[in-house]
Structure 1
Amino acid sequence: MDSKEFDRLLRLDAEAVRDSAGFAAQAGPGDLSRPTPCDGWDLRRLLAHMTAQHRGFAAAARGRGGEAGVWAEWPTASDPVADHLTAAEDVTAAFAELSGPQQALALPQLAQDGQFPAALAVGFHLVDYLVHGWDVARSLGRDYDPGDELLEAGLAVALAVPRGQARLAAGSAFKPELDPAPGAGPLDRTLALLGRRPDWTPAC
């Protein structure tokens, strides 16, 4: 990936982060107990996970991804929405400091002692927050309509995520893939590839 394509990837990742943070900002205290498409997680738990991941990726971009504790979820925040919005701003700022697409980032949650080029790491983050943006939106009963460019980039990453038995392992980031509906668009295809039911509602 050349620097122009990497800049485009960073821009699209920032868009996914803004979208997911925008939905999170709509959540009031009474919404935090709402169910989410993530089995067993209410919105408070999902926001805590998203916040921790932002902090971990930000630390990785700054050369500290392998340090103990940088990926850990902090004790429940008194204001999880504000906590999340701060972390969202920080990870975007940290990615903007990356030297280029080949800078190595430590992502121990994906591979123990694994080093990933920045282009791949940002792609992981992008698809994660495209999907988590949808998670938060659906939890709140909102629709999510990302731009075509972001959807194209997210689907490309989702198609590259390993499938099969690895999805059944404890701690796997994604469930086994589902079959998308005939004629499904790129968002629904991405969700199904990563084990989400595109038709999920709180009533499910």
Structure 2
Amino acid sequence: MNVTELLRLDATALALIGHDVALIADSALTRPTPCEGWTVADLLRHMNERHDAVAQTMLGPLGEEDDDPRADFARIAARWSVALQTTGPTLNLPSRGPVSTEWVLGVHVVDMLVHRWDLARALQVPLTVPAALEQAALPLARANTAPGSPLNQPGGAYRPPFGEDPANSEMDTIVALLGRDPRWTPPGHTS
């Protein structure tokens, strides 16, 4: 996949999760997520911090942040998009150094879909993902978690993958590849 196509997929994934973030109720911010030990607010702060760290390398500091991570999400995600649209073939990540922009976008598309799944599970709302986006993200998720990937090695971003189950949907397969249990429900609830 080329950078132009990845930018389009990334913009779609960001628009979908941005919509969901804008609708999160105050009372839902403390709900647990599939990310062990993280609440919905923690997950939002994580996304904001990661987006802002990359955007700052090209656009400088953001300035004052809001106390509510929902309020910052759209602004910080927009800066992420501008940074990725204006970078060249290589991006200098704060924690990793120079990496391919294609690789960064491929990882980010999958991460945004999986974090959107995290939110849907935490909030116990249905998740609808455009089929074309799922179909494009599945091979990216497989590449991101392939043996030898720095993302699923010790100290990497992902937990060990769950085994692939042919009965799983594409989205459940993607979340399983990133180390989430596709059957996860909040404590005290059933699916």
Fold shared, TM-score > 0.5 on shorter chain: yes
Q: Which amino acid in 2 is paired with 1:174?
A: Y
Identical counterparts, % of pairs = 35
Q: Secondary structure of the equivalent of 1:173?
A: coil
Residues 60-92 of structure 1: CA deviation (Å, up to 9, x unaligned): 4x287xxxxx7xxx9994211001121112212
Distance change (3 Å), C-alpha of 1:93 and 1:119: same
Written as runs of structure 1 = structure 2, the 5 A alignment for 1:79-94 is 79-94=68-83
Written as runs of structure 1 = structure 2, the 5 A alignment for 1:28-43 is 28-43=25-40
Distance change (3 Å), C-alpha of 1:57 and 1:162: farther
Q: Secondary structure of the equivalent of 1:115?
A: strand
Is residue 78 from structure 1 mapped to residue 60 from structure 2 by the alignment?
no
Q: Tell me the C-alpha RMSD between the 2 structures.
A: 2.5
Larger deviation, residues 13-22 vs 153-162:
153-162
1:184 Cα deviation from its structure 2 partner: 1.7
Distance 1:76 1:138 in 2: 27
Q: Secondary structure of the equivalent of 1:106?
A: strand
Distance 1:183 1:16 in 2: 24
Partner of residue 154 from structure 2, selected from 166, 169, 174: 169
Q: Secondary structure of the equivalent of 2:180?
A: coil
Distance 2:82 2:128 in 1: 25
Distance change (3 Å), C-alpha of 1:75 and 1:31: farther
The residue that corresponds to 1:198 in the other structure is 182
Partner of residue 131 from structure 2, selected from 139, 148, 160: 148
The residue that corresponds to 1:67 in the other structure is none
The residue that corresponds to 1:59 in the other structure is 56
1:141 Cα deviation from its structure 2 partner: 1.1
Any unmatched runs of 5+ in structure 1? 65-69
Is residue 125 from structure 1 mapped to residue 108 from structure 2 by the alignment?
yes
Distance 1:76 1:85 in 2: 12
Residues 140-180 of structure 1: CA deviation (Å, up to 9, x unaligned): 1112221122112221121112447963624x210000013
Distance 1:91 1:195 in 2: 25
Partner of residue 12 from structure 2, selected from 12, 15, 40: 15
Distance 1:108 1:90 in 2: 16
Aligned partners of 1:33 and 1:43 also within 8 Å: yes
Distance change (3 Å), C-alpha of 1:119 and 1:168: closer
The residue that corresponds to 2:93 in the other structure is 107
What TM-score do you get using the length of structure 1 for normalisation?
0.80
Partner of residue 185 from structure 1, selected from 169, 172, 191: 169
1:121 Cα deviation from its structure 2 partner: 1.2
Q: Which amino acid in 2 is paired with 1:82?
A: A
Aligned partners of 1:48 and 1:76 also within 8 Å: no
Aligned partners of 1:163 and 1:177 also within 8 Å: no
Aligned pairs, how many?
Answer: 185
